[in-house]
């Protein structure tokens, strides 16, 4: 084939981890690793949920050749030149994996490339986009009949974050609800020692509440089950010293409202193969897992306590039972809404007041936040919302641990609703077809 460029448009940390990563992996697998023939570039657009380290995360993907951070996005959108003045090959495709679908139409037109949009919930700009990869068949009715030929049902990209799933895709083509990925299969529901995962988030707003609440819950559980092992997979955009500040009451004053359990960061000796830990005042140790993705560690967990976000989709795809924690002690913590609510919640000075009002209204509506619950249209994993108290959450966790059949039922439901595997391969096949590869 003649040399081609693939430009991927994305934005937030969730999209980068759960959409971009599986797609670029399969693109290289299917279309080849010869960079003189296939070059993959990623351009990031601004996102209210960003941490500022998204570009570094994408650069860590070996399949990607070039990355432009979000601060340079709008000059590129308006004038067509990247910050580093990239060159573009004659043939190529623009793949939309997060942001505003209009960006793909504009940039594709300017570069003269075919456009492919992954649409999770809505199909927009269908007159100007060449191909849509949609999550579910019901989305076909969103466009007039004369444009439906542009839509291909590919399944849920979030299900493809599971490592090792590629080798099972042929089976999943005929089975919408395939068996769970191989890393999880041989592990018992309550492995010795009992392992509980903690996912408090990656941004300051979530970490300020999530870290102290998780520490307090862990300490309550440990008091009843001292054999329990706790692990905390650290987000790739977060460093350990920064994480530790959220366990320190001198730098995180809200800690005292969420159980008052502090912890210190302990680094292992260089000659040991141990993980760093956060050690609480009562001696509970939380292992910090730096490996990304941490699927092999998460698959050892009988249960995970997590905040909202793409992590709930990963856990659901892995079939790992979870409790989703939404503490409201700091009601303005959630500011990652789309559209006008997100703009208002992130305004200087007035943003906090808008965030509190918006979050109060959203929580009052009783909407579902965890991805598996959204997929199912009902609560299959508990969403604990309100001024959460560590002792109450710990009692609920212990009740599930004492009744493992409830965890088994939750796992079965997660595997049923996680979505058809193989979306990234179907997207790659479509891209190869339009590029004539």
Structural domains of the chain in order of their starting residue, each with its CATH number: 4-176+421-435 (3.40.50.2000), 195-417 (3.40.50.2000)
Nearest residue to 370 (alpha-carbon basis) of 425, 329, 315, 421:
315
pTM of the model: 0.74
- Summarize the confidence of residues 215-233 as an average pLDDT: 96
* Greatest mean pLDDT range, 212-226, 255-269, 284-298, 319-333: 212-226
Q: Which of 299, 283, 306 is nearest to 369 (CA)?
A: 306
Question: Cis (ω within 30 of 0) for the bond into 193?
Answer: yes
Statement: residue 190 has pLDDT above 50 = no
Write out pLDDT tens, residues 102-147: 999 999 999 999 999 999 889 999 999 999 999 889 999 999 999 9
> Is the model's pLDDT at 177 over the cut of 50?
no
Asked whether the predicted pLDDT for residue 168 surpasses 80, the reply is no
- According to the model, what pLDDT value does residue 296 have? 87
Q: What is the mean pLDDT of residues 294-301?
A: 90
**Is residue 164's pLDDT more than 70?**
no
| Cα end-to-end span (Å), the chain | 6
pLDDT at residue number 180: 41
From the list 6, 21, 334, 298, the residue with the least C-alpha distance to 158 is 21
> Cα-Cα-Cα-Cα dihedral of 63, 68, 71, 77, to 10°?
-120
43-55 per-position pLDDT tens digit: 999 987 778 889 9
b/e for 237-247, b at 16 or more Cβ within 10 A? bbeeeebbebb
The confidence score (pLDDT) of residue 291 equals 86
SS (H, E, C) the chain: CCCEEEEEEECCHHHHHHHHHHHHHHHHHHHCCCCCCEEEEEEECCCCCCCCCHHHHHHCCCCCCEEECHHHHHHHHHHCCCCCCCCCCCEEEEEECCCCHHHHHHHHHHHCCEEEEEECCCCCCCCCCCEEEECCHHHHHHCCHHHHHHEEECCCHHHHHCCCCHHHHHHHCCCCCCCCCCCCCCCCCCCCCCEEEEECCCCHHHHHHHHHHHHHHHHHHHHHCCCCEEEEECCCCCCHHHHHHCCCCCCCHHHHHHCCCCEEEECCCCCCCCCCEEEECCCCEEEEECCCCCHHHHCCCCEEEECCCHHHHHHHHHCCCEEEEEECCCHHHCCCCCHHHHHHHCCCCCHHHHHHHHHHHHHHHCCCCCHHHHHHCCCCCCEEEECCCHHHHHHHHHHHHHCHHHHHHHHHHHHHHCCCCCHHHHHHHHHHHHHCC
The rounded percent of the chain whose pLDDT value lies above 70 is 83
What are the two backbone dihedrals, phi and then psi, of residue 178, each rounded to the nearest 5 degrees? -70, 170
Chain-centroid distance of CA 118 in Å reads 16
pLDDT for the residue numbered 90:
94
Return the pLDDT at 18: 87
pLDDT band for 166, please (50, 70, 90 cuts): very low
Cα(211)–Cα(263) distance, rounded to whole angstroms?
10
Residue 156 pLDDT: 87
The overall average pLDDT reported for the chain is 85
pLDDT 10s digits, 324-342: 998 876 655 555 555 455 5
Percentage, residues of the chain above pLDDT 90: 63
pLDDT mean over 267-286: 88
Q: What is the mean pLDDT of residues 216-224?
A: 96
Taking Cα atoms as reference points, which of 330, 306, 323 lies closest to residue 395? 323
Mean pLDDT on 134-162? 90
**What confidence score (pLDDT) does residue 12 get?**
84
Query: Would you put residue 382 in left (φ > 0), alpha (ψ -120 to 50) or beta?
Result: beta
| Reported confidence tier of residue 81, pLDDT bands at 50, 70, 90 | very high
> What token pair was written down for 313?
């989709």
The model's confidence at residue 26, banded by pLDDT at 50, 70 and 90, is very high
pLDDT at 219 over 50: yes
Res 342: pLDDT: 55
Residue with more model confidence, 365 or 175: 365
């Amino acid at each position: 084939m003649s040399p081609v460029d693939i430009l991927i448009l994305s934005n937030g940390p969730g999209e980068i981890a759960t959409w971009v990563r599986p797609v670029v992996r399969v693109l290289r697998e299917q279309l080849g690793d010869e960079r003189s023939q296939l070059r993959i570039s990623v351009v990031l657009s601004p996102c209210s949920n960003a941490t500022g380290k998204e570009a570094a995360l994408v650069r860590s993907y070996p399949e990607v050749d070039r990355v432009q951070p979000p601060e340079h996005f709008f000059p590129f959108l308006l004038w067509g030149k990247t910050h580093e003045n990239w060159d573009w090959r004659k043939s190529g495709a623009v793949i939309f994996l997060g942001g505003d679908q209009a960006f793909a139409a504009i940039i594709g037109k300017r570069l003269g490339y075919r456009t492919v949009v992954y649409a999770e919930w809505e199909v927009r700009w269908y007159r100007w986009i060449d191909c849509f990869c949609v999550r579910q068949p019901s989305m076909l009715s969103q466009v007039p009949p004369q444009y439906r030929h542009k839509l291909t049902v590919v399944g849920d990209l979030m299900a493809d974050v599971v490592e090792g799933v590629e080798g099972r895709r042929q089976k999943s083509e005929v089975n919408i609800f395939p068996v769970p990925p191989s890393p999880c299969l041989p592990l018992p529901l309550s492995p010795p020692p009992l392992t509980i995962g903690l996912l408090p988030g990656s941004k300051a707003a979530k970490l300020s509440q999530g870290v102290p609440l998780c520490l307090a819950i862990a300490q309550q559980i440990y008091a009843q089950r001292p054999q329990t092992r706790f692990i905390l997979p650290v987000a790739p955009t977060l460093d350990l010293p920064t994480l530790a500040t959220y366990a320190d009451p001198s730098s995180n004053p809200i800690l005292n409202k969420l159980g008052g359990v502090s912890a210190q960061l302990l680094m292992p000796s260089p000659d040991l193969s141990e993980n760093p830990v956060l050690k609480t005042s009562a001696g509970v140790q939380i292992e910090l897992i730096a490996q990304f993705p941490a699927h092999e560690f998460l698959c050892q967990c009988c249960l995970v306590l997590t905040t909202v976000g793409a992590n709930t989709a990963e856990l659901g795809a892995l079939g790992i039972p979870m409790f989703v924690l939404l503490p409201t002690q700091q009601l303005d913590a959630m500011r990652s809404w789309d559209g006008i609510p997100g703009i208002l919640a992130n305004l200087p000075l007035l943003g906090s007041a808008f965030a509190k009002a918006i979050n109060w209204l959203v929580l009052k509506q009783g909407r579902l936040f965890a991805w598996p619950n959204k997929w199912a249209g009902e609560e299959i994993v508990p969403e604990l919302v309100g001024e959460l108290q560590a002792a109450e959450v710990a009692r609920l966790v212990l009740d599930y641990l004492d009744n493992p059949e409830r965890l088994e039922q939750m796992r079965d439901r997660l595997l049923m609703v996680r979505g058809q595997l193989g979306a990234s391969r179907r997207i790659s096949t479509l891209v190869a077809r339009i590029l004539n590869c």
